[in-house]
Structure 1
């Protein structure tokens, strides 16, 4: 059973998926920092508000001496919009990546050498038949 698990875990596809997963997680952090540090402030300039701070307060909270608000119930739609922008950026990059890979595969298929021209199966069978007749 241990050998079967080792064979399964070391298959090429599974290792490729693991590498892609790790790279995707790292890429997600890059996109999140890009959106949070560059896109959100620029959009905030346009709308004159902090994108992350956008929320719809349903129930007001109570502020203590330190300025911390407790008991507030709010819908944080600014975070949702930021995450939506993150998703769109990741989806677009993945689309472009897959499109580029597909284009490279088409070029490889187009430049693949043609199989050597030789006698067909029928020609060979005819030749064998003729040799057997002799």
Structure 2
């Protein structure tokens, strides 16, 4: 089998296609969560704690300067606000994934919990049935 055929077989497996769909949907979900955090959650929080715009919240290590040629050298900053936004996005995505996995696991437990009906009596049940029949025969002879 040629390498091209092997690659085609690999790429067309259900798991690979499922993974590709998951990555695309995950990317779209990430954008939705980013928008939710940046534009819906963080503005009210910033307003409540004194009008802070978290996306602009940073610690400046070195101020912006202008060199001899007149070019601006940008400031060196630590973007704490962006980090907080990213952290909140991660928590939301992690919680959503946790809930999806929890639902999937509960569905698997329901499938495992439903035991199959036994096809016939167990060995213990057969033995007890034979003992019962023997006792009935013995009682019939004694009467």
Under a length normalisation based on structure 2, what TM-score does the superposition of the two structures give?
0.72
Q: Which residue matches 1:101? A: 104
Deviation at 1:7, TM superposition (A): 0.8
Deviations 1:11-66 (A, max 9, x none): 11111111111110010001000001111102101222011110001112249xxx
Q: Which residue matches 1:127? A: none
Distance in 1 separating the partners of 2:115 and 2:37: 42
Q: Which residue matches 2:141? A: none
Q: Which of 75, 84, 105 matches 1:72?
A: 75
Distance in 2 separating the partners of 1:20 and 1:117: 45
| 70 and 92 in structure 1: CA distance in 2 versus 1, 3 angstrom threshold | same
Q: Which residue matches 1:23? A: 25
Deviation at 1:112, TM superposition (A): 5.3
Deviation at 1:72, TM superposition (A): 1.2
Runs of 4+ aligned structure 1 residues displaced above 2 Å come to 111-120
The answer for unaligned runs of 5 or more in structure 1 is 64-68, 121-134
Distance in 1 separating the partners of 2:73 and 2:49: 28
Under a length normalisation based on structure 1, what TM-score does the superposition of the two structures give?
0.77
Q: Aligned-residue CA RMSD in angstroms?
A: 2.0
**How many aligned residue pairs are there?**
115
